């Protein structure tokens, strides 16, 4: 599943291509995604202009010219493709964990503009669209989510208060979208490595300086990944065909049995299953 950096790369790609463009037509080929696509979905978009492509956490948000908005979550296998009317596209995929070539069998939604169309493709159909008459309703929909790592609300006072008397381990907290939004399994392991904290450590046992490291390193890791185009675990590419390269920076994720990359550390990278998720850490320098 794409995490915050990969969704942000998708957002940037889409914003460049469809922002300020007017929707001419919408075709729904299959309404049965995680949530059924509303019957009024086509009329909701038709003749509206995309005035902004935004993101919150792992959600894409399309703001329309009549003050309405649409939420898109890519689920496990959802991909967004941009196909030009004027030329045969070799690279169409703006999304994550899939082939850059459009697999037409699972095209569920097509949104047409003057010179291109946006296609949502999802073999497993865990992704979904939701539409809202105004941003206030959208805000209510997302109210259960915690702050993003980049937001000023994700600060030391907030983290210390949240962790007080909490027995749950810190790895699970980083994956808890009620605590902080957008961090997934890959980046949780990398953040904890940079912070020198063992994933299984109870949140209530973290010192103030450790909490501060988690805050700072969450921002640092995610920003670095966005700058490098995300993590291309398989064939993720943006609309220009550029492959994300943050996977070359991985210090622990997927490196089980290898030597730790931290300077002067002779530890070995271990793999442990925490809440059914593969977790990677150094057995020596993470305490």
Kindly report, residue by residue over 137-157, the tens digit of the pLDDT: 999 999 999 999 999 999 999
Q: Does domain 156-250 have CATH number 1.10.3210.10?
A: no
Q: What is the pLDDT of residue 239?
A: 44
Strands ordered across the beta sheet of 107-112 = 25-28, 107-112, 116-121, 79-84
89 burial type by CB count under 10 A (0-12 exposed, 13-18 middle, 19+ buried):
middle
Helix (H) or strand (E) holding 161, with range, is helix 156-163
| CA atoms of 270 and 200, how far apart (whole Å) | 12
Q: Which of 58, 171, 228, 270 is catalytic?
A: 58
CATH topology classification for 4-141 = N-terminal domain of MutM-like DNA repair proteins (3.20.190)
Q: Taking the model in full, what pTM does it have?
A: 0.89
| CA atoms of 63 and 58, how far apart (whole Å) | 16
| CA atoms of 244 and 198, how far apart (whole Å) | 27
277 catalytic? Reply is yes
Query: Interior CA angle at 252 toward 127 and 244, to 5°?
Result: 50
Q: Which of 3, 6, 8, 190 is catalytic?
A: 3
Q: Which of 16, 31, 261, 277 is catalytic?
A: 277
Per domain, the residue ranges of the chain are: 4-141, 156-250
Helix (H) or strand (E) holding 17, with range, is helix 4-18
Residue 32 β-bridge partners: 36
Q: How do residues 11-69 score in pLDDT, each as one tens digit? A: 998 999 999 999 999 999 999 999 999 999 999 999 999 999 999 999 999 999 999 99
Q: Which of 2, 5, 100, 199 is catalytic?
A: 2
Q: How do residues 200-251 score in pLDDT, each as one tens digit? A: 999 999 999 999 999 999 999 999 998 886 554 444 444 444 554 455 679 9
Q: What is the pLDDT of residue 77?
A: 85
| CA atoms of 232 and 99, how far apart (whole Å) | 11
190 catalytic? Reply is no
Characterize the bridge pairing of strands 25-28 and 69-73. Answer: unpaired
Residue 220 β-bridge partners: none
3 catalytic? Reply is yes
Residue 92: pLDDT band by 50, 70, 90 thresholds? Answer: confident
Greatest mean pLDDT among 76-90, 99-113, 209-223, 233-247 lies in 209-223
pLDDT at residue 135 above 80?
yes
Those residues whose C-beta lies under 8 Å from the C-beta of residue 103, and which sit 6 or more positions away, are 121, 123
149 catalytic? Reply is no
Q: What is the pLDDT of residue 236?
A: 40
For residues 87 and 41, the model is more confident at 41
């Amino acid at each position: 599943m794409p995490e915050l950096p990969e969704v942000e790369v998708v957002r940037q790609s889409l914003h460049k291509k469809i922002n300020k463009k007017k929707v001419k037509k919408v075709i729904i080929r299959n309404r049965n995604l995680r949530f059924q696509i509303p019957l009024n979905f086509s009329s909701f978009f038709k003749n509206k202009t995309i005035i902004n492509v935004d993101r919150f956490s792992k959600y894409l948000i399309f703001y329309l010219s009549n003050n309405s908005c649409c939420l898109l979550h890519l689920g496990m296998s959802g991909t967004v493709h941009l196909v030009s009317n004027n030329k045969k596209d070799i690279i169409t995929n703006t999304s994550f964990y899939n082939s850059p070539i459009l697999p037409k069998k699972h095209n569920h939604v097509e949104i047409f503009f003057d010179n291109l169309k946006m296609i949502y493709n999802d073999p497993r159909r865990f992704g979904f669209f939701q539409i809202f008459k105004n941003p206030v309703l959208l805000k209510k929909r997302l109210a259960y989510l915690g702050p993003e790592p980049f937001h000023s609300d994700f600060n030391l006072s907030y983290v210390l208060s949240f962790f007080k008397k909490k027995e749950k381990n810190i790895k699970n907290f980083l994956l808890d979208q009620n605590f902080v939004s957008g961090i997934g399994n890959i980046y949780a392991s990398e953040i904890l490595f940079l912070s020198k904290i063992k994933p299984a450590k109870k949140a209530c046992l973290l010192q103030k300086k450790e909490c501060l490291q988690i805050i700072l390193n969450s921002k640092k890791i995610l920003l670095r990944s966005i700058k490098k185009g995300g993590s291309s675990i398989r064939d993720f590419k943006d609309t220009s065909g550029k492959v994300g390269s943050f996977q070359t920076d991985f210090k622990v994720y997927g490196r089980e049995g290898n030597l730790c990359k931290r300077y002067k550390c002779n530890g070995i990278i271990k793999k442990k299953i925490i809440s059914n998720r593969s977790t990677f850490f150094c057995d020596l320098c993470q305490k």
